[in-house]
A = this chain, B = another copy of it.
Amino acid sequence: MEKKKVTLKDIAARTGLSVNTVSRVLNKKPYYTKDVEARVNAACKELGYIVDMNASGLRSGSTRTIAILYDDLVNPFYSYTTDIISKRFEKSGYNSIMFSNNDRSPYVDYELIRSVMARKPDGILSFLEPAEDMVEFIKNAGIPFIIFGRDGSPYGMAGVAADEVAGGRAAGEHLLSCGYRSPAYLGSWHDVKVCLDRQKGFAEAFAAAGIPLTEDRIFYVREDDFSAVIDCLAASKADAVFCFNDMIAFLAIEALSARGVAIGKDVGVVGYDNVQQMLKMPRFITTVDVGGRDFAECGAEAMLALLAGGEEAPTPYAGRHAAPVIVPGQTTRR
């Protein structure tokens, strides 16, 4: 007993009006009488009318849909941010369609952007950086595109970003202030800009103290070869380990501890994102906070502003925690 689909035609028949007029009332376009409005609303309620956004979008050119491109929703940085952003979009009448790289690459590649465009979203908010050869393609697609959590300027694109170099520097300075003197960096993909920016700031901090971050102390890891990297790290005499994000820091802490390293004493470990606060967990690791909620809201507003027709590029992130701050935990001394 499947319910028959109720369309505008049914409402028109019920009210004795044309589908055109019914549509106009429902979309609150100017020019209709109170009486007509009441009749339409009554009929819609009675028959249980629900608009078909696919049809609407096809004709009008606006699907009221925003694509969110992500890598890994397990990382609380993504899920926390996505939660805020997606709910904000909903409040403005936009639904979010999720697209992942399905563990292929850290980039927006052709395969991905193609499936996104097939959905004709009004806008695209991407946690992923575009592949170099996709930049022009994306710009030409004519769909507002925002890179979230990454600086867009190297691509000539809109981006909502924090100062990653400053974040890395803060991590380095903190470790120095704790008395650690041998830096190591545990990065993620070696070619993603945000990863290199944090590394850069970190190296700068130690360089200022006359200590170089040497090549053999820089590691780029995904989970596959993680164990081997930790062995290298444990073998090295590094005592100041800065991780690209908290997820990597958690892994590193577990792995180093298992190898007998006294974290928070002999070795200091600093993560990034402050996912503990996002999850309202007890503070454990020392990490760099970029103000998750403000950051997310800034991204959502930037996208909505773009959709509302603002031509100007969204301002880079400038919320409360504009400057990344160190949040001390138990994985560094003091």
Binding site for B on A (CB under 8 A): 1-3, 50-55, 57-58, 63, 65, 72-74, 76, 78-80, 82-83, 86-87, 90-91, 95-100, 102-103, 114-115, 117-120, 140-142, 247, 250-251, 253-254, 257, 275, 278-282, 284
Q: Are A250 and B98 in contact (CB under 8 A)?
A: no
Chain B residue numbers with a CB within 8 Å of A284 are 282, 284
Q: Which residues of B contact A95 (CB under 8 A)?
A: 97-99, 115, 119
Chain B residues near A117 (CB-CB < 8 A): 50
Report Cα–Cα, A97/B142, bound state, in Å: 22
Out of B100, B119, B247, name the residue touching A53 (CB < 8 Å): B119
Given A2-B140, A79-B73, A90-B102 in contact, is the A53-B253 Cβ separation under 8 Å? Answer: no
For the complex, give the distance between the alpha carbons of A73 and B84 in Å: 9
Chain copies in complex: 2
Pair B53/A120 contact, Cβ less than 8 Å:
yes
The answer to whether A281 and B1 touch across the interface, beta carbons within 8 angstroms, is: no
Cross-chain contact A140 with B1 (CB below 8 angstroms)? yes
Q: Which chain B residue lies CB-closest to A251?
A: B280
Query: Of all chain B residues, which has the CB nearest A113?
Result: B50
Please list the 7 inter-chain residue pairs (A to B) with the smallest Cβ-Cβ separation, ordered nearest first: A79-B79, A73-B83, A2-B142, A3-B140, A250-B281, A96-B98, A53-B118
Are A250 and B280 CB-contacts (below 8 A) given A87-B100, A97-B96?
Answer: yes
- Give 28 A-B contacts (CB < 8 Å), ordered by A residue: A3-B141, A3-B142, A50-B114, A50-B117, A50-B118, A52-B118, A52-B120, A53-B118, A53-B119, A53-B120, A54-B58, A73-B83, A74-B76, A74-B79, A74-B278, A74-B279, A76-B79, A78-B79, A79-B79, A90-B115, A95-B98, A95-B99, A97-B97, A98-B98, A250-B282, A254-B280, A254-B282, A257-B282
